[in-house]
Structure 1
Amino acid sequence: MKIRKELWFGFILMGLILLGIAVVLLRAETITNGHLGLLMLALIVVAIMLGFPTAFTLMGMGMIFTWLAYERDPNKTLDLMVQAAFKVMSNDVLISIPLFVFMGYLVERANLIERLFRSLHLAMARVPGSLAVATIFTCAVFATATGIVGAVVTLMGLLAFPQMLRAGYDVKLSAGSITAGGCLGILIPPSVMLIVYGATAGVSVVQLYAGAFFPGLMLAGLYIVYVILVAKLKPHLAPPLSAADRVVPLPPLTQSLSEAFSNRALSALLRALKGRANAGVPLGYLLRQLGIALLPLITGLLVAVLGWLIATAPAAPVAAPLAGSAGVQEPPGSRAGLAAPPAAGGLAEPPGAGGLQEPPGAGGLQEPPGAGGVKEPPGAATAPGASAAPAPVAPRTDAPRGFWIGLGIGAFALLLFYARFSFQRLEIFKMLLSSFFPLVVLILAVLGSIVFGLATPTEAAAVGAFGGLLLAAAYRQLSAGVLKESVFLTAKTSAMVCWLFVGSAIFSAAFALLGGQELVERWVLSMNLTKVQFLILSQFIIFILGWPLEWTEIIVIFMPIFIPLLDNFGVDPLFFGLLVALNLQTAFLSPPVAMAAFYLKGVSPPHVTLNQIFAGMMPFMGIQVIAIVLLYMWPQIGLWLPQLLYSR
């Protein structure tokens, strides 16, 4: 029987892992519990590569080695298992996972992806490599709304892959665009992966969402730039669309307006309103089309007004110092500051008191010598019963030059937009309104409520799940069967994640109990690595682990090993999590366990081979490495937004 190349690769990798552990054990003078921990770590990787269920393999391996660590005491072993499981199940952050997953399944079943791809494809028809660009854009938006990589890759494989092949696109470029774009859902919030990392590393999920936003957009932007450059430099790999493919059919009433006046939507609609009998078109239809055509202008005006209000907001008033004071006073004993009580020898009773006295006027507590009491601010009313004068309203500041530059650019963009705003573009805009903007509103509602502190991740996930229900109902896709299937798949996915956490908790506890964590920490510190070298080493290990393992196993098994080392090198766990999130994209794009490739192969035409899909993913893996380097060189790409929103 002929064994496939992927199996040979897996067997060789497993052999190297076992050989490395054997060398370490043979070179050790005495076999300690720490060495048993390393053996457990190697065996778990090999067992997962052989296809054993991850969660139950973690639990089984953890219990066996815990039993050995406790000198074969079953009671302590069972106690550890129960405590680890209870700790995981009492984690409130995990409640948001089933809600986000439920939202994703509902949005997936609303059949928005076909409309979204069609509208983006037509809107970007003149961009080089427009089909591939629209594919990546659609994947990014839809993967953000669903977070289910397999569903996005499969749907885009059914929808976009045949169209790209018919248009003459290169198989490798088409496959790479779909698989890379579909994997963006595990990075761009609201991402389940970030929730799992936050719960594992003890990092705020809210700050992780804020931090991952711009790196996710950066990665998607790099993908799009790469596709455009390839299409520009090698047009035979991504031919431009023909004129027939860019045709947008007009409704009969719109067609009559175009023929009677002009193809310029705004001017034709305004002229039709002034003409006799509205050019034979119902007034309601004209007003609806005109309202849709004016939406970009209305939105631009609202943004300009909001920007002006923010830019010219009056500065916060500075509290005036107390009368008679000159800022911060000297310590007691100084001439102008608070003086010490006249009597020395410790705390004394108030003069003439035999206990607590009545308020001033009855010989009670006195002001320190030399103090004039707390004064009213200058100009305040001093008469008894007089009310304080209202504080003057601070005038608005002048708008900065940047606001006017931005306003000018926006106005110029609107002029260009309406100068080329034909009835065909109006139809494309209407398609975007019915497919793209509902998803964007849902995503912004969920992310905005989390990032700006209006709701916790769990509350925002509930809002997202409700929004998914509304979207499915609005597009007439909500039925008892869809609801039942979504609930079933949500329960299945959530149970898998929770069992993974339980298995990870038991495995991590056993690893720490055996001293494996201490052994790894001593080994890393003995190399005298700098911060840069440690980050390179850790990210390289995660990159290699992405070949045989998925992101879930990497996070729940290896993050508890890396996280305790961060303090020794002065690495922010939030920044490390963003690097890991970018790096873990490789778990879905790196052979031989590149799940995105298998999802696409399952729905691709027979002549498309798995090796072609793997080859198409390689340039996008290189782009991921570039994104990691950019994030390390400029950490503010990921840290600027969390620092802006949450620093005090």
Structure 2
Amino acid sequence: MLELQSLGIGGGSLAMFGMLLALLLTGMPLAFVTILVALIFALGWFGPVVVPIVTTRIYSFMMQYVFVSIPMFVLMASILDRSGIARDLFNAMSVVAGRLRGGVGVQTLLVSVLLAAMSGIIGGEIVLLGLLALPQMLRLGYDRRLAIGIVCAGGALGTMIPPSIVLIIFGLSANVSIAELFTASFAPGLLLATCYAIYVLTLGNLFPHMAPVPDVEDTQTTLAEKLVPLKGLILPLIVVTFVLGSIYGGIASVTEASAIGVVGVILSTLVRGELTFKMLIDSGLQTLRTCGMIVWIGVGATALIGVYNLMGGIDFIKTLLLGVSDEPIYVLLTMMLILGVLGMFLDWVGIALLTIPIFAPIVVSLGYDPIWFGVLFSLNMQVSFLSPPFGPAAFYLKSVAPPDISLGTIFTSLLPFIAIQLFVLALVISFPGIALWYR
């Protein structure tokens, strides 16, 4: 049963990686791949005696109290998907955009920030914006590639703007404060959204045909009419204030705040007259599907990392990374490169659960702040959402985009926004105070 030990940790690491890659290429889901590889190496390296140790590790991970917040935030997003709150938000932001050249693009980005602050889910937000904002921009004559980029990049802001599920998973994996991660990520998230807006406005003014000004009939004519849509901001702002305010004010933990958010969104739909039993059932089923995927990936990744740790793999990876250079910054950049490459092929949940237990201790040993690294990780996952060949944002938008918009067109449209993401990532690496401003 112990034949795999003869490979040594170097050969074993290569064999494990090769087996993971080969099984993933067959189309098998990541969760099942990691479970299978973990089982093979547990039995082949140690024998049956190690299985109870691995299952204990899985149980400890899954029983963390803050894990409860994930289904709560997913449920919030599921209900938002089925309500008219996003539509009213978009209409309300038209007052802010006014007759700016590129204003509808900025309007879309503002809605993206507010939707992200309400739920922290990415997929549903891109679909909503694809249904609301993309047709509006195309109707106004916006450059198709610019409109596509705005929707996908704006929709992916949920990885950075609290309450981000990416940050929750990172906090669980790195064993750091999620509330502190939320605080640290807010400024970089707003910086990224601001950079998007500056790009859209600059492009609109340099090339007016790419972002036309709305016609007269597309804008309200009196002050009273202009203020009417602003009522759509009231309920979302109340929900955001209660969720984030309770966390930052020390009134509630992240888990408790997530429950407050669910209650707030349900009450909002009730006030709007949209709450139905069917909506709750459909939202609950979507939540179960999403969280089921996260749980299975969590089980597989935790088992795999547990086995690899027992093999001595984490110390092996640490030695390899620290051998890259005597300068900590080069080791950090190597980690960023690894995350970037993985982000082109794997889901962010799998990347977080597979890499963070290995990377986080190395980051601390280098003298870096793990909270700052969490922000860098989230920015990296921003890039992964847009990166070809498997960027999820492109596929989410393709599901609701006009038939003549191909995946190739979508990915090409995202390249300038990926460049902006990399620019902001470089800024936060160069100036950690952007994330750690609160200290």
Coarse TM-score class (shorter-chain normalised):
over 0.9
Counterparts in 2 of 1:445-456, with a 5 A limit?
445-456=242-253
* DSSP-derived class of the 1:169 partner: coil
Query: Residue deviations 1:347-367, cap 9 Å, x none?
Result: xxxxxxxxxxxxxxxxxxxxx
Residue 493 of structure 1 corresponds to 290
- Alpha-carbon distance in structure 1 between the residues aligned to 2:37 and 2:295: 17
Q: Is the 8 A contact 1:231 1:238 kept in 2?
A: yes
Partner letter of residue 37 of structure 1?
S
Q: SS of the counterpart of 2:344? A: coil
- Residues 228 and 54 (structure 1), Cα distance of their counterparts in 2 relative to 1, 3 Å cut: same
Q: What CA distance in whole angstroms lies between the structure 2 residues aligned with 1:610 and 1:132?
A: 21
The offset of 1:157, in angstroms, is 1.1
Alignment of 1:412-491 (within 5 A): 424-433=222-231, 435-491=232-288
2:116–2:157 Cα contact (<8 Å) kept: yes
Give yes or no for the alignment of 1:44 onto 2:16.
Answer: no
Structure (1 or 2) with the larger CA radius of gyration: 1
Equivalence for 1:511: 308
2:124 is matched with which residue: 132, 147, 151?
Answer: 151
Q: Distance in 1 between matches of 2:200 and 2:262?
A: 34
| 1:195 corresponds to 2:171 | no
Deviation of 1:495 (Å): 2.1
Query: CA offsets per residue over residues 127-152 of structure 1, 9 Å max, x none?
Result: 22111111111122113213222211
Question: How many Å apart are 1:199 and its aligned residue?
Answer: 0.3
Match of 1:613 among 382, 407, 410: 410
Q: Is the 8 A contact 1:183 1:596 kept in 2?
A: yes
Q: Aligned ranges for residues 222-241 of structure 1 at < 5 Å?
A: 222-241=195-214
2:26 and 2:349 mapped to 1: Cα distance? 17
Partner of 1:31: 7
* Letter in structure 2 aligned against 1:154: V
Counterpart code for 2:234:
F
8 Å contact kept, 1:110–1:472:
yes
The answer on whether the counterparts of 2:81 and 2:128 sit within 8 Å (CA) in structure 1 is: no
1:538 to 335, 352, 358: 335
Question: What's the counterpart of residue 562 of structure 1?
Answer: 359
In the alignment, structure 2 segments of 5+ residues that lack a partner are 1-5
Map Cα deviations across residues 532-558 of structure 1 (whole Å, 9 max, x no partner).
212211112211221111211110111
Aligned to 1:251: none
Residue 463 of structure 1 and its aligned partner are, at CA, apart by 0.7
Partner residue, 1:646: none
Where does residue 100 of structure 1 map in the other structure? 73
d(CA) in 2 for partners of 1:463, 1:45? 41
* 1:168 paired to 2:141: yes
Pick aligned residue for 1:66 from 21, 42, 49: 42
**CA–CA separation in structure 1 for the residues paired with 2:142 and 2:27:** 36
Distance 1:64 1:178 in 2: 43
Give runs of aligned pairs for residues 113-262 of structure 1, distance below 5 A: 113-248=86-221
* Equivalent-residue separation in structure 2 for 1:46 and 1:550 (angstroms): 17
Check 1:469–1:163 CA distance in 2 against 1; reply closer, same or farther (3 A cut). same
Identity %: 35
Q: Which amino acid aligns with 1:51?
A: G
Question: Aligned residue for 1:585?
Answer: 382
Residues 589 and 595, structure 1, Cα contact 8 Å, conserved in 2:
yes
Q: Deviations for 1:554-589, whole angstroms, at most 9, x for unmatched residues?
A: 101111221121133111111111111111101210
1:194-232 per-position Cα deviation (integer Å, ceiling 9, x unaligned): 110000001100100111111111111111111000001
- Contact 1:123–1:428, Cα closer than 8 Å, also in 2: no
* TM-score calculated relative to the size of structure 2: 0.95
CA distance in 2, matches of 1:513, 1:216: 37
Q: In structure 2, what residue type is equivalent to 1:426?
A: A
Shift of the alpha carbon at 1:440? 1.8
Note if 1:83 corresponds to 2:59. no
Q: 1:89-145 CA deviation, whole Å, 9 max, x = no partner?
A: 221110111111112222222211112112212431222211111111112211321
Q: Which residue of 2 aligns with 1:326?
A: none
Give the Cα separation in 2 of the matches to 1:80 and 1:596.
38
CA contact (8 A) 2:298 2:350 kept: no
Deviations 1:241-274 (A, max 9, x none): 11222145xxxxxxxxxxxxxxxxxxxxxxxxxx
Q: Structure 1 residues 50, 175: closer, same or farther in 2, change over 3 A?
A: farther
CA–CA separation in structure 2 for the residues paired with 1:49 and 1:245:
49
Please give the alpha-carbon distance, in whole angstroms, between the structure 1 residues aligned to 2:117 and 2:33: 31
Query: 1:11-22 to 2 correspondence within 5 Å?
Result: none
| 1:269-418 equivalences in 2 (<5 Å) | none
The structure with the largest helix share of the pair is 2
Question: Which segment drifts farther, 179-188 or 556-565?
Answer: 556-565
Q: Aligned letter for 2:44?
A: L
Superimposed CA distance per residue, residues 575-607 of structure 1 (whole angstroms, 9 cap, x where no aligned partner)? 111111111101210001011111111211122
CA distance in 1, matches of 2:237, 2:123: 21
**One-letter identity of the residue aligned with 2:9:** N
Structure 1 residue 46, shift from structure 2 partner: 4.6
TM-score (norm 1): 0.65
**One-letter amino acid of the counterpart of residue 102, structure 2:** G
CA distance in 1, matches of 2:383, 2:24: 18
Q: Any conservation in 1 of the 2:9–2:311 contact (CA below 8 Å)? A: yes
Distance 1:444 1:596 in 2: 27
Structure 2 counterpart of 1:409: none
Range 200-209 or range 104-113, more displaced? 104-113
Equivalent of 1:632 in 422, 429, 433: 429
* TM-align CA RMSD: 1.6
Comparing 173-182 with 592-601, which one deviates more in the overlay? Answer: 592-601
Greater relative CO, 1 or 2 (CA 8 Å, sep 6+): 1
Report how far residue 47 of structure 1 moved: 3.1
Q: Is residue 526 of structure 1 aligned with residue 343 of structure 2?
A: no
Instruction: Output the CA distance in 1 between the equivalents of 2:114 and 2:429.
Output: 26
